[in-house]
Amino acid sequence: MTKAIFINTPLYFHTGFCLFCPADGAIFTIMKKYFFLLISLAHVMLASYPASALDLRAEPETASIMQRTKSVAARQQMVVAANPHASAAGLEILRLGGSATDAAIAVQMVLNLVEPQSSGIGGGAFLLHWDEHSRRLTSFDGRETAPRAARPDRFLKNGKPMAFRDAMHGGLSVGTPGVLRMLEKLHRRHGRLSWKRLFKPAIELARKGFAVSPRLHTLLKKADPQSFGPRARGYFYDEFNEPRPVGYILKNIPFALALEGIANQGADFFYKGQLAGFIVKRVKTAERNPGDMSTGDLAGYHSFERPPVCISYRSYRVCGMGPPSSGMLTIAQILKLVEPFDLGRTPLNIPALHLIAEAEKLAYADRKRYMADSDFIRLPQGLLDPRYLAQRRLLISRFRSMGKAKAGQPPWQQGQIFGKDSSVENHGTSHISIIDRWGNAVSMTTTIEAAFGARIMVSGFLLNNELTDFSFRPTDEKGHPVANRVQPLKRPRSSMSPTMIFDRSGRLHMVVGSPGGSRIILYVLKTIIGHIDWGLDGEALTQLPNFGSRNGPFELEEGTGVREIAESLEALGHKTRIVPMTSGVHLVIRSGNRLIGAVDPRREGLALGD
């Protein structure tokens, strides 16, 4: 394995148990009855990684722990997810003969329970599926939608945008959840085990209880208990409004009952049954910002198959989600802009960081102006046109930062004039990467938006606050409509970037993705360039310090000893900021006849395989 790269690396905390044979990377066989006990004990022993108070708009799901991680090698199948319970559930399903799709469903249900701050059935997701037999890549859109009653001025008060903190919690920010419809659609096409069987691990764990992890405890400690609805507050906090301590056994019987209904009756139990009525009532009677979701919004929700966005980069083919995700379009623009340049073989070399940042600025400027739900706006068709990118590339100097970039004028714009966008994206998100024994794969990024979503709990799960991903201003100062404005049934723009990379022979090479709000693009891009250009593998990719520009200052990850890099970039005219950058890169790489899984040390993930 390539050695992990950290500059003046801080000490990482070890989980205290080993799952891997040091000789060949094979997985130890651990008796199941002891498995979760070991994990729980390890979590209790972990100290919280110190993190400063943060602007909620910049990094609401902040750093908690840093764990020492190692790549995992397997021969047949691999699951990489953000919590050991979820990874174990996915591997259990694979061992029963389940497909990557089956495992992803089981993983999502367990994540909803043990990592409730990040994702769940009250939210949405984007997913790539690779069918090895047909050699077909498909992408599925499970993004939340605005209610039919939503209007462009939804987040305006007296003609001015609401403060983000005021808008994000309560019923007004809740979009119609999409993850269950998406997973049901996927299962009908690619599932091998029964739908009902896939819910068993989460139901059993919800009834038995799980140990509160250091990360969950830290995020609860940083949150305001009064921002939660009464049911959520009573679940996560004690009578003195103290968060459940690390190691506390948290049971969730209402969630177990909800999952049993979904397991037995399908997604209709959620979208058309009694549970739908509970969701709507909770949204409309929320303590903060009552919303306007209806039972018709839930009953009418549809998940769509979308054409994936694919480009060539070096000798690889890189594929991801199209709109309403801006992820792969933006990543694709950046990769094609830097492709003619030599980025060197040394990770984090200054000339490469400068060129990458300049390309990121150009792509983020276009993203903000043009990208939104393509069912509602006509996306310019020339964003990846080689002639357009060549013109944009002329704006990149090797020797000096351009400062803030302006959006370009892509061809085939069809006469549209879009206004300047004011959207903000939060970071309550998780990523799952899976390859099964047949070579089928799933890359799924799943979210409830900010940490703990709208902080409204229904039947043991949290609802999203995804509608705050829309621009609060429907028009700019010149009166031009913003592409990502609120409209009825529209899906807010996302940066989620589930990604698959194929080698020159067309063989699946990597499955990857990350949480992180609008920084997801930076995290996934870092991983692609780190692997293809800089030759990094496994844990070296996930441990590589985070960096990049979202058409603002060049951001460098706090705690990774990057002061000298910042000074070198400032000499080229960049404004730099050293900030927490809590990625969650989870990947599987096919290397010869082996699968290499790796998790991001900034979260609590685990890679497991056979």
Residues labelled as active-site residues: 429
Q: What is the DSSP string of 26-90?
A: PBP---HHHHHHHHHHHHHHPPPPP-----TTT-SS-----B----EEESS-EEEESSHHHHHHH
Task: Report the Cα 531 to chain-centroid distance in Å.
Answer: 20
Whole-number Cα distances in Å, 322 to 307, 309, 325, 457, 521: 7, 6, 5, 31, 13
Strand order in the sheet with 78-81: 304-306, 136-142, 124-131, 441-449, 428-435, 78-81, 606-609
List beta partners, residue 457.
462
542-576 per-residue burial string, b: 16 or more CB within 10 A, e: under 16: bbbbbbbbbbebbbbbbbbbbeebbebbeebebeb
Look-up: residue for tokens 């403060």? 163
Count how many Cα atoms sit within 13 Å of the Cα of residue 249 in the half-sphere of its side chain.
Answer: 9
List beta partners, residue 287.
none
User: In a 10 Å sphere around its CB, with 0-12 CB exposed, 13-18 middle and 19+ buried, how is residue 108 labelled?
Assistant: buried
Whole-number Cα distances in Å, 225 to 235, 242, 470: 11, 8, 26
